[in-house]
Structure formats: C-alpha cells, structure tokens
Amino acid sequence: MQVKKAIIPAAGLGTRFLPATKAMPKEMLPIVDKPTIQYIVEEAIASGIEDIIIVTGKGKRSIEDHFDHAFELEATLREKGKQDMLDSVLQTSKVEIHYIRQKQPLGLGHAIWSARKFIGDEPFAVLLGDDIVENDEPCLAQLMNQYDQTGNSVIGVQQVAPKDTNRYGIIDPISVEDKLIGVNRFVEKPAVGTAPSNYAIMGRYILTPEIFGFLGEHQYGAGGEIQLTDAIQKLNEVQPVYAYEFEGRRFDVGEKYGFIETTIEFALKRPELRNQLLELFEKKLKESYSNK
C-alpha cells in the first residue's frame, strides 16, 4: 500500500520564540517571506502526498487562513496587476488541508494519536515543522522509496555531534546497509554520555498504522510527555522499524540560532538580497576585527 497521507503536528506552544509566539503560531514565523510550515507542506506535496492533516491547538487559526483563499487581497493584487504576488498567494490556497485540534498538550505522541481516525488503516508520513530539509529529492520522498522497498516503517536520521544527542530521539543501530539501518532500540533524548549512537531522528517518519495501538497506551516518557519515539520502539518490538540516513541539509528552525542561520542561508539564495547581505557581512567582519 502506498503512502498518501501525512500528519503535520503544529500544536506546540513555541515558547522558545516568546514573546513573538504569544499571539501567533510559531509555524507562521517566516524564513525570508515564507512561513516555516509552508516549506513543510511543500515538501509533503513534492513527495507525492495527497492528503495532509495538520494537528493544531489553541491560537493556531492563522495557519488555516494561510492555506485558504484571501479574496480581498487577491482582488486587490489582480486590480493592481501584481501578478507575481498574486501567484504566490494563490499557490498556498490550492492545497487541500484537513485540521484537527489536539485538545491537551500532552506531547508529540499524543498529537499524532489525535489524527488516527483520519489515517485509518494505512501507512502514513509524519513531518515535524521544526526541521526543514533542503535537497533535490525531497527528504520525505527518500523515506517513501525505502518504505516501498521494505514495506516497513522508516525513520529519517542524520548524524549529530555527540554533545547534541540529548536533544533528539536516538537510535541504537544493529546493521547498516548503504543508508538503511536496522535498529535495535529507539530512545528519546538520552542523558548526556548514554546515547547508543549519534544517529538522531530528524522529524521525518513513515509509519505503519499499528503505531496507533502503542500511542493509544498513553504512556508518559521523557519530559513527562507522551513520546512518539517510545511508541516507535514498541512497534519495533513486533515488526521491523528501519532508520534511513537521508540526503540533504537539515535546518533546525525550532530554536533561535537555527532559525537565524536558516534565514541567512535562504536569504543568500535570493538574487535581490544576496549582494546587499554580503556587503553587510563584510562590513560587520571588518568592524569586529578592528575592535579586537
């Protein structure tokens, strides 16, 4: 069975970006001029996903508005002949997205479980909004290919520095065949010095529907939350769950430094911004050297 549906959890409080996220979802913070969640939705669509469900929470209405028509704005842009802007606005209203609210903030595992009725008895994808991955072949498409070949759940991983392993779900690999990795154990945010490897889960998953049975146990894990990683480990005990070291550069837009780094990298790719930015950097570097 092919993977056609995807869940994008977007119910988090975004406390790392307060006060910006007091009245605005963190998923709407833009990288240059596009909200982070739009990059994620575009990756899902480019990978062949047909149905997307976004798990939202309180104060997330602007996400729904973003992926809806904005008739007044469209009419004004049309009247003024601003075709490029009109096209960019129309593009986001074309995608068909479903929404469900996570009624209590009990963790990622609980958010995914909230979408179980939408998924039914099919394999599905999960894309986390804090991870933007840049690659010609989208990250999710790479995992879907692996799913097609193995028929089993596949979790996207990349290697991180040993000092960072406590920030991620980490795998204990058994065997590595090319980039496909058999996994002994999945562990959520292991304490410093206890990580079984430096392969970290990077916010892209293909899961079989049996995962919902384990998510439904509502067992609390790391950080006092219902963790997706814990349910994946339980699934791994009854059917193989693979990890796949995907290709592409992953940007962490879920914390301040990563967000700023991503903004700079993406802005440098824009011809209208590039030269001005490089001039600014040159000036700043000179200033910092002359202050030493």
- Which parts of 151-243 fold into alpha helices (H)? 211-215, 228-238
Residue type for position 130:
D
State which of residues 7, 63, 126, 202 lies at the interface with ligand G1P (CB under 6 A): 202
Residue 230 touches ligand G1P, criterion: CB under 6 A:
no
Q: Which of 128, 121, 244 is nearest to 181 (CA)?
A: 244
State which of residues 10, 37, 77, 108 lies at the interface with ligand G1P (CB under 6 A): 108
State which of residues 17, 39, 168, 259 lies at the interface with ligand G1P (CB under 6 A): 168
Q: Compute how many residues bind ligand G1P; rule: CB under 6 A.
A: 15
What is the Cα–Cα distance from 155 to 123, expressed in whole angstroms? 13
Which one of 16-24, 33-41, 196-204, 271-279 is the stretch in contact with ligand G1P (CB under 6 A)?
196-204
Shortest separation between residue 108's beta carbon and ligand G1P, angstroms: 5
Q: Given the complex with ligand G1P, which of 169 and 248 has the nearer CB atom?
A: 169
Shortest separation between residue 231's beta carbon and ligand G1P, angstroms: 11
Shortest separation between residue 88's beta carbon and ligand G1P, angstroms: 28
Burial 139-170 (b: 16+ CB within 10 A, else e): bbbbbbebbeeeebbbbbbbebeeeebeebbb
Q: At what angle do helices 36-46 and 139-150 cross, to 10 degrees?
A: 40
CA dihedral 56→16→39→248, nearest 10 degrees, is: -130
User: Which residues contact ligand G1P (rule: CB under 6 A)?
Assistant: 108, 128, 130-131, 168-169, 188, 200-203, 227-229, 254
